[in-house]
Amino acid sequence: MTDDDLKKQVLKNICALREKGYDVVIIHGGGPFIKRALEEAKIESEFIGGHRKTTTKAFEYVEMALKGKVNGSLVSMINSFGYKAVGLSGKDGRFVTAVQRLYERVVDGEVEEVDLGQVGDVVEVDPSLINLLLKNDYIPVVTCLASDRDGNDYNVNADMFAGHVAGALNAGQYVVMTDVDGLLREKDDPNSLIGEVSLGDIKNLMDEKIIQGGMIPKMESCEIAVNKGAGSARIINGRKPEQILALIDEKQIGTLITK
C-alpha cells in the first residue's frame, strides 16, 4: 500500500481476474496512512490492550485517511487501467452494520469493560449493493468504516470487516494479502509454509503459538469468512503479485483455509 509501483502491479493483477470471468471485490484498511494523518494533526494515539482508542476528533482523520487518501487512490488507479471502480465504505447503502466494541480486561481479578471510542465490530452485512455493482460490471473498492443502527460511525478492523463481507457474498475464494507467503510453522523460516489448514486446526495452531502476532486477525478473518459462507480462504504474499494470477489455476500457493 505504501509502494506505488507494487500497488499498481497488485491492482493490475487483481483486475486481470475480471478478464477471466471472476467478480472481484477489494477491501482495504490503511494503518500507515491513519498513523501519518493523526501525527500531522498532532493527535496522540492511545493504545489499550493493543487496540487504538478512536476519539471523535481522531475518527475525522481516520475517515479522511481511509476514504479520501487510500480509497480515492485505489479507485483512480483502477479506473486508469480502463476498469470501472466504485469507492465505498460500509456506511454506503447501510451495507455493513456495526456495534461499538468494548475491550475487556481483568483488573484485580475482576473483568472491566473499556471504552475504545469509535471502534466497532461487524454485526450484519447486506450484500445487495455490492451484488448490484458487480452485476453492472463495476469493481467495488471498500474501506472498513461502518455505522450502527443509530448512525454512529466506527472504524472496524480491516481483516474482520473483509471476512464478514466475503462470507455474506458467499465468495468462491476469500484472499488475504499480507507480507509473508502464508502461515509459517517457524515464523523466520520461509520454507516452513503450511499449505493447508482446516478450521478445526486453528485453535491448536494458536495454542502452539504458530499463529501469532499479525497473523492472528488474518486467520480469524478467514475463519469468519468460511464459517459465514465463503467457499475457501487463502493467505498469500501481496509483495509477490504473480501469486494473484496463480489463483486462477488453483495452484498451491500460500495457505489455504477450508472447513
Q: What is the pLDDT of residue 46?
A: 84
What band does 188 get if pLDDT is binned at 50, 70 and 90? confident
**Residue labelled with grid coordinates 466497532:** 120
Same domain? For 141 and 181 the reply is no
- pLDDT digit string (tens) for 195-251? 999 999 999 999 999 999 889 999 999 999 999 999 999 999 999 999 999 988 767
- Retrieve residue 5's grid coordinates: 509501483
Same domain? For 213 and 156 the reply is no
Pick from 169, 195, 212: which residue ends a domain? Answer: 169
Same domain? For 124 and 67 the reply is yes
Q: What is the pLDDT of residue 215?
A: 93
| DSSP designation for 68 | I
Q: What is the pLDDT of residue 249?
A: 79
Q: What is the pLDDT of residue 187?
A: 84
- pLDDT digit string (tens) for 158-180? 999 999 999 999 999 999 999 99
**What's the mean pLDDT in 135-144?**
97
Same domain? For 156 and 186 the reply is no
Pick from 169, 188, 215: which residue ends a domain? Answer: 169
Q: What is the pLDDT of residue 111?
A: 86
Q: What is the pLDDT of residue 185?
A: 94
Same domain? For 19 and 56 the reply is yes
Number of domains into which the chain is organized: 2
Cα-based distances in Å from 191 to 91, 176, 214, 254: 41, 20, 19, 12
Q: 57 Cβ partners below 8 Å, 6+ apart?
A: 43
Q: What is the pLDDT of residue 91?
A: 97
Q: What is the pLDDT of residue 92?
A: 97
Same domain? For 193 and 233 the reply is yes
**Residue labelled with grid coordinates 490492550:** 49
Name residue 196's beta-bridge partners: 256
Same domain? For 191 and 215 the reply is yes
Structural domain that includes position 151: 1-169
Pick from 137, 153, 169: which residue ends a domain? Answer: 169
Same domain? For 231 and 142 the reply is no
Q: What is the pLDDT of residue 143?
A: 98
Q: What is the pLDDT of residue 100?
A: 95
CATH of the domain at 38: 3.40.1160.10
Q: What is the pLDDT of residue 35?
A: 92
Same domain? For 3 and 111 the reply is yes
Residue 63 pLDDT more than 80?
A: yes
What phi-psi label fits residue 229: left (phi over 0), alpha (psi between -120 and 50 degrees) or beta? Answer: left
Same domain? For 161 and 250 the reply is no
